[in-house]
Amino acid sequence: MTSTPDGQGRAGPWLLAGIAATSVAVGLAELLAWVTGPVGAPLTAVGGVIVDGVPAPVKDAAIALFGTADKLVLLLVMAAGLLGLGAAVGAAQRRRPPLGTGLLGALGLVGLLAVLTRAGVSVADTVPVVVGTGAGTVCLTLLTRSATAGEHADEGMDRRGFVTVAAAVAVLGAAAGVAGRWASSAAARVPAAREALRIPPPVVEDPIPPRADLGVEGVEPWLTPADDFYRIDTALTVPRIDVADWRLRIHGMVDREIELGFEDLTARPLVEHVLTLACVSNPVGGDLVGNAVWTGVPIRDLLAEAGTHADADMVLSTSQDGFTAGTPLSALTDPDRESLLAVTMNGEPLPFQHGYPVRMVVPGLYGYVSATKWVVDLEVTRFDRAQAYWTTRGWSARGPVKLSSRIEVPADGGRVDRGAVVVAGTAWAQHTGIAAVQVSVDGGPWRDAELGAVTSEDTWRQWVLRPSGLGPGQHTVRVRAVDTQGTVQTAEEAPPAPDGATGLHERVFTVA
C-alpha cells in the first residue's frame, strides 16, 4: 500500500492548493487572451470543442431543457468541472508531488490543443495557455511547499494562514478569468464604434400594415424586440468585430471573386424587409422563432455580380468563429425571395449576439442552413462537394421551414373567466404564407380564426378566436394552419431532428 509522504496527512490544504493553482492557470490565460485575441481563451476553446463534439440528440435535449440559456449552463458546468479538476491536482500532488504538476500540465495541453482547433488560430493565440499553465505550476509548487511546512510545528505559516493565502490566490485567479472574459467581450472600441455607426437609409422599405398586431394580451408582439429574439448558435463568446476590420470574400465556382469591406457593402442600395426566422430545434409550440425588420443588401445581386457557374447549387457561408452553413443557391438567387446580407435589425445596427456587423437572413429556410451570423465568407460550391457544420452531424442539408402554428393564449393549465375565453397565437410558413388558421375545441369541428395582416408571405401571422358557450370545467384546444398552397398542417408527430418538428400544438385550460 502506498502512503503519502510524512507530514502530508491532512488533505484539505492540498486540495485547496490544487484549486488555487488551477484557478491561476485558467484565469491568467483568460486575462492574457484579452491581449492576444479571443481565439486563445481556453474556456471558449474547450467549450467550442465540447459543443462541436456533443452528439446532436444531446444538443437537442440541452436546447429543449435550457433554451437560450444553454451556453450559460455549459460555462457553469465547466466551472464546476474545473473545481473538481483543481482538487484532483492537489490530491495528486499530495500523494506523489510530480503527479499534480504533471496533471496540471496535461490540463494545459488539453487547453492548448483545443485552441489549435479554432478557426483563424495563430502562434500568438497559444501564448495565454502556455503562460497560464506555467504560472499555475509555479503557484502549485509554492503553495504545496507551504502546505508541507505548515504541517510541522514552528515551520512556515500556520494552517489558518495557509488557507487564507490559498483562498485569496484562488479568488484572484477566478477574478482574473472573469475580468479577461469581460474585457474580451466588451473590447474597448468595438461597442463604441457600433454606437457611432451611421448606416444609410434603405431605398426600399417594408411598411407595416394596420392590424398586423392584433393586440391580444399574452401573444408575442408581431415585431420581436431584439432583446427578446431567440439566440441559438455555437459561439460561447460572442464575437466583437470592428467594422474597420470586417471583410467578406465571395469565391468558389464564380467567374469573378469579390471582396468587400463594410463601407463597400453599405454604399450599395440597401433594402428593408420584415422577415421571420425559425430554428430547426424549435419543438411544436416552441418559442425559437421571431419576426424582425432587417435592412441589408440582396445576396442575389452580389452573386450575380460574381457570376455563379451553371453547375453550382450551394453556397457555403462561414462565420468569423468558424461555423458554416450550406444554403441552396436557388434560394439565394430567387428574385422573389428577399435573402439579405443584413446590417440592421429593427432599425438599429445588428446587436452583437445577432451577428454584428453583418449576417445572413434567408426567409423560408431554418437558420442552421441559412442564417449565418458574423459572416465573413461565401463560397459558391455544390452539395456533393462540401458539407456544413450541422449537416456533418446528421441534420438534413436543405432545411425548408415547415408549416407551423402555436397557441399562446390561454396559458397551459390556466384559468379563464366564463364568457372571456380568447384563444390566440401565431402561425408561420415562410416564403409560402398563411392562408388560414383553424382551432378545434374539445375535439370538435375546426373553426377558422381571425387573421392579422402581414407585409408578405415571409412573415408569421397572428390569429385569434373567441369561442362562445364554453361551460365551467376543463377544456382542450388544438390549432392547425393552412398555407397559401392549400396544404394543411400535419398532425403527425416528429422530433426536431433531422429536419424540423411536426405535430399540432394544444393547450388545456379551465373555465371558472
Instruction: Read off the pLDDT band of 12 (50, 70, 90).
Output: confident
Q: What pLDDT is stored for residue 9 in this prediction?
A: 55
CA distance 435 to 429: 10
Q: Comparing 70-74, 361-365, 479-483, which segment has the lowest mean pLDDT?
A: 70-74
Task: Specify the pairing of strand 415-416 against strand 506-511.
Answer: parallel
Rounded Cα gap, residues 222 and 219, in angstroms: 9
CA distance 116 to 114: 5
pLDDT band of residue 29 (cuts 50, 70, 90) is very high
What the chain holds in terms of domains, given with CATH numbers, is 11-185 (no CATH), 226-393 (3.90.420.10), 404-511 (2.60.40.650)
Q: Each residue of 346-378: pLDDT tens digit?
A: 999 999 999 999 999 999 999 999 999 999 999
Find out whether 109 and 29 touch, Cβ atoms under 8 Å: no
pLDDT for 6 equals 41
* Residue 39: pLDDT band with limits 50, 70, 90: confident
Instruction: Find all residues with CB under 8 Å of 248, minimum gap 6, and list them.
Output: 258, 259, 260, 265, 341, 358, 375, 376, 377, 378
Phi, psi angle pair for 264, to nearest 5°: -60, -40
Least confident of 189-203, 333-347, 470-484: 189-203
Indicate the pTM of the whole model: 0.76
Residue 43 has pLDDT above 80, yes or no: yes
User: pLDDT band at 1, cuts 50/70/90?
Assistant: very low
The answer on pLDDT for 58 being more than 70 is yes
Give pLDDT tens digits for 497-510.
999 999 999 999 99
pLDDT digits (tens, 9 = 90+) for 192-251: 788 889 999 999 999 999 999 999 999 999 999 999 999 998 887 788 898 999 999 999
Helix/strand/coil for 425: strand
Q: Give 145-179 pLDDT, tens digit per residue.
A: 876 665 554 455 677 788 888 889 999 989 988 88
Residue 156, CA atoms < 13 Å, CB-side half-sphere: 18
**Pairing between strand 314-319 and 271-278?**
unpaired
Q: Is the dihedral of CA 268, 269, 272, 278 positive or negative?
A: negative
Of the pLDDT bands very low, low, confident and very high (cuts 50, 70, 90), residue 186 is: low
Among 296, 291, 280, which residue's Cα sits nearest to residue 344?
Answer: 296
Residue 495 has a pLDDT of 94
- At residue 79, the 3 state secondary structure works out as helix
- pLDDT-based confidence at 68, cuts 50/70/90? confident
Write the pLDDT tens digit of every residue in 109-136. 999 999 998 876 888 889 999 999 999 9
Residue among 419, 428, 471, 469 at smallest CA distance from 451: 428
pLDDT for residue 154: 47
3-state SS, 168-203, equals: HHHHHHHHHHHHHHHHHHCCCHHHHHHHHCCCCCCC
Amino acid at the residue 182: W
Measure the CA–CA gap between 18 and 335, rounded to whole angstroms.
62
